[in-house]
Amino acid sequence: MHSELCNRCGSCVGLSEGKIIFDDREGRYLPRMVAEIDDKTADRLWNACSGKDFSFPEYNAHFYSEASHFHEYTGSYENIYIGHANDEAVRRNSASGGIISAILIYLLEKGRIDGVVTLRMSHEKPWLSEPFIATTRAEIMEAAQSKYTISSVNEILPECEKFDGTLAYVGIPPQVQSIRKLQKINDPSVKNIKYLFGPFYGNTLYFSSVKSFLKTYGEKDFTKITKLYFRYGEWPGNMRIEMKSGRVIELKKFHANYLIPFHVLKNSLYCTDFTNEFTDISGGDAWAPVYEDRGKGFSMIFTRTKAGQEIIDEMLKEDLLSAEVITEEEAIKMHSHGYDFKKRGSFIRIKFRKLTGKSIPDYGYKIGGFGASRYFMEMIISTMFVLMSTGLARRTVEQFPPGFIGKLFEKARTAWKNSTKKIKRDKLGS
């Protein structure tokens, strides 16, 4: 639990009957044992932990044996689409095209589920996220949008078990993987979960990112936050913080990305699941100039199970969604940077970690055979992550206006992406 492999999914906290807690959510956010745990519970928690191991081949064979397509970058799927929710209120309120929110509202209003396990910003501590069970359209809308700081959705498992009815569940890949581990052994905590949905997942950040962001604007007390958004307004949106004083701080999402190398959660660097491969339907941003220029949100959608495909087919028929099928090659090309980071970079970073003698996650598969240039590129990236996460680097960046740093970061990132395009796209999708 005190390893860098902990992904903070929250399962051990949720299933421990109060014996494991998160008491440092604004800090390292690690689970802490506060009472002795019996062997039976320990076994249950150990099994549910997706940070140390999650066999992709085993869970693919178990849950997706009938899938029409498989690629080691995307996982199993039926179809891939680019699209958006047709309900403008839902689309505008969401992170990308509002697909996830629209699906949840559809299932709830059709009576196919009774509640949704999802994540909102806390009412008591509006700077932190909290999982809850949404049972109305308004609550699903409240939970929309991406939260880029650590979330621990599976803390809510005891509530899921007690819930009177069927549930849809939304989570990022490490959380979904833990749910799949529990489903495979018919653990009672997940018996009410009927559908799994989730966003793509590049990385997540420590809460220090919010503290540091505030400091650059001269605000030292994060407890004065009344609202925190990561994707506010027109797609792709802004990071926006509202303070008790009435002050509003806002920075373009692409510029706020400068926080990533300074505050990234170590575990996200070892996670190899970019597109939430173990869901029924997963969604990400449709990053391409043709969509980005249009302002309103567009999503990329993977249907992965027959149940997921049926939902999309019905919603298309009822004109609740607009979506066009795209090819696997187009999908991989659109997110070549993300696939490279997760399906190549993560494996190389795991290799580097192994060389230092530290424990490594076991995903039951490996992707390898990259050229020397890709290893060299990873050495630069990994060194950057180490140097930029130091206190000195964080304090230094806080001396500059975030607008300036953000612009600089965006320019440097674009230049870096362009200069490494060949290395990254080499054999992608083949």
Contacting residues toward ligand FAD, per CB under 6 A:
94-101, 118-119, 143-148, 151, 153, 170-172, 199-202, 204, 283-285, 297, 299, 338
In whole angstroms, how close is the CB of 338 to ligand FAD at the nearest point? 5
In whole angstroms, how close is the CB of 389 to ligand FAD at the nearest point? 18
In whole angstroms, how close is the CB of 340 to ligand FAD at the nearest point? 12
In whole angstroms, how close is the CB of 11 to ligand FAD at the nearest point? 13
Residue with smaller CB distance to ligand FAD, 19 or 272 = 272
Q: How far apart are CA 9 and CA 417, in angstroms?
A: 30
Q: Which two tokens stand for residue 419?
A: 């200069």
Distances (CA, A) of 124 to 77, 137, 365: 39, 22, 42
**Is 109 exposed, middle or buried, given 0-12, 13-18 or 19+ CB atoms closer than 10 A?**
exposed
Contact 31, 46 (CB under 8 A): no
Residue 168, C-beta contacts closer than 8 angstroms, at least 6 positions apart: 103, 104, 107, 113, 115, 116, 117, 193, 194, 195, 196, 197
Residue with smaller CB distance to ligand FAD, 19 or 97 = 97
Residue nearest to ligand FAD (CB): 202
Residue with smaller CB distance to ligand FAD, 171 or 345 = 171
Q: What is the dihedral of CA 124, 130, 136, 142, to 10 degrees?
A: 70
Backbone angles phi, psi at 135, to 5 degrees: -125, 5
- In 3D space, the residue among 148, 313, 140 whose CA is nearest the CA of residue 228 turns out to be 148
In whole angstroms, how close is the CB of 422 to ligand FAD at the nearest point? 21
Residue with smaller CB distance to ligand FAD, 19 or 121 = 121
Residue with smaller CB distance to ligand FAD, 92 or 407 = 92
Q: How many CA atoms lie within 13 A of 381 on its CB side?
A: 22
Residue with smaller CB distance to ligand FAD, 246 or 289 = 289
In whole angstroms, how close is the CB of 201 to ligand FAD at the nearest point? 5
In whole angstroms, how close is the CB of 159 to ligand FAD at the nearest point? 16
Sign of CA dihedral 18, 45, 158, 137: positive
Contact 216, 250 (CB under 8 A): no
In whole angstroms, how close is the CB of 231 to ligand FAD at the nearest point? 7
Q: How far apart are CA 84 and CA 274, in angstroms?
A: 20
Residue with smaller CB distance to ligand FAD, 19 or 149 = 149
In whole angstroms, how close is the CB of 276 to ligand FAD at the nearest point? 9
Q: How far apart are CA 106 and CA 113, in angstroms?
A: 9
Residue with smaller CB distance to ligand FAD, 149 or 189 = 149
Q: How far apart are CA 60 and CA 421, in angstroms?
A: 30
In whole angstroms, how close is the CB of 81 to ligand FAD at the nearest point? 12
Residue with smaller CB distance to ligand FAD, 175 or 212 = 175
Residue with smaller CB distance to ligand FAD, 19 or 170 = 170
